[in-house]
A = this chain, B = another copy of it.
């Protein structure tokens, strides 16, 4: 499975767990709302720095972000 899709799905999972809309989440992370939509749908090849912003907004660590079944193969 495409890495962009895996990351997008994980972001959406974490965002919904926080009960935030894409707009509120994007604002919290300090990034563009339409980009969050694109990334969640696996349409964009995200960079390390932007992913860090998203991970911080998700109130999680890099290690935990990738500590899921999909990222262990």
**A contact patch SS:** helix
In the assembly, what is the distance between CA of A52 and CA of B4, in Å? 10
Of the residues B47, B63, B73, contact of A61 by C-beta under 8 Å? B73
A67 and chain B: residue at smallest CB distance: B63
**A65 surroundings in chain B (CB, below 8 A):** 66
- Most chain-B Cβ atoms within 10 A of its Cβ — which of A46, A62, A71, A73? A62
Q: Are B63 and A68 in contact (CB under 8 A)?
A: yes
**A61 surroundings in chain B (CB, below 8 A):** 71-73
In the assembly, what is the distance between CA of A64 and CA of B53, in Å? 21
The 10 A-B pairs of least Cβ separation, nearest first, read: A62-B71, A63-B71, A63-B72, A3-B52, A62-B66, A66-B66, A45-B47, A63-B66, A45-B49, A61-B72
